[in-house]
Amino acid sequence: MNLYKEVIRPFLFLGDPEKIHHLAMDSLAFTGPLLQRFAPKPDPRLERTVFGLRFPNPVGLAAGFDKNGVALPAWEGLGFGFAEIGTITARAQPGNPKPRIFRIPEYRALINRLGFNNDGCDLVASRLQRLKDSGNWPTIPVGINLGKSKVTPLAEATADYLLSFERLLHFGDYFVLNVSSPNTPGLRNLQDRPALDELLGHIQRRNTAGKPVLVKIAPDLTWEAIEEILALVEEHKIAGLIATNTTIDHSSVPESKRTQGGLSGAPLQARSTEIIRFITQHSKVPVIAVGGIMNADAALEKFDAGAALVQLYTGYIYEGPGLIGKICRALLQRG
């Protein structure tokens, strides 16, 4: 019997998705230190070293789940090999109007239009400092995903990212520039060569600590656009790419289920893998795969396409924490 899928998930899915998420985060924030004490012992055969960081296993939590870094000890306790918090913006912001998360269970998918709702870099930095001071900081790598504040004009985006980057530099093992969310107006324009060139250049010049910096890209880019991004990644010595964010292509779900926002889950699996394969065939830059990883076979597909690490979000919601162990066991069975 799968306790999560047969008992816990049906109960959780009775409620509003965002309210249930906040309830889960409150619970994980409270129980995190206890979970951390009983974290599964990592199998050394699963260890990976990617962009200079040691990952006890290659299965991580994707950005968007723990937006404000409230439950970091819990992610280690549940068996993740790394956790990425955020997206965090320079200014605190409420995000888009509710409702803004929609489940599509028959397609094992979600649509969200949250809009970078978060506490802002100053408050998150204070919270992370308290966690460090408490002695409960996780031993797994912690990534910090940064985005643009909605009120900041696109022309001032670089300064906005820099403010967050410098405020949080002390806390992240790696940083991700999120230029691909579909839920902040105009944000995806930062994937265009001139804007991305400016952003990467300024970030790397301020990156005095030499922290790995990654870029998270959209699944809706053309091959030509991805090639341009790869050229900039090489030019600016960017440590890696995260492929991919949610998609604005909703053609894989019925029209009655479509609404504004980014689609994630099983419908994104094939496109995400296709992009990972393209990147790894045209570049040596490490790729963190996210998108449609709903079971161990989908994770193995990402590794076969060339991914160095994988991240879970929608798969974690539908399959529960047991999915982490299933992926790790599948990797060990491969030898």
Query: Which residues belong to the active site?
Result: 181
Of the candidates 170, 157, 244, 180, which has an alpha carbon nearest to the alpha carbon of residue 207?
170
In a 13 Å sphere around the CA of 144, the CA atoms on its Cβ side amount to 28
Q: Which two tokens stand for residue 29?
A: 């924030």
CA-angle at 121, arms to 117 and 127, nearest 5°: 100
Instruction: List, as one string, the DSSP characters of 59-111.
Output: EEEPTTSSTT---HHHHHHTT-SEEEEEEE-SS-B--SPSP-EEEEGGGTEEE
- For every residue of 201-223, DSSP letters joined together read HHHHHH-TT---EEEEE-TT--H
Four-CA torsion 247, 250, 253, 259, nearest 10 degrees: 100
Q: End-to-end alpha-carbon separation of the chain, Å?
A: 27
Query: 5: which DSSP letter?
Result: I
Q: Are strands 309-312 and 48-50 parallel, antiparallel or unpaired?
A: unpaired
Positive/negative CA dihedral, 309, 314, 317, 323: negative
* 143: β partners: 84, 174
- Nearest Cα to Cα of residue 112 among 246, 305, 276: 246
H/E element, 166: helix 157-168
The β-bridge relationship of strands 53-55 and 142-146 is unpaired
Nearest-5° Cα angle at 163, 159 to 166 = 125
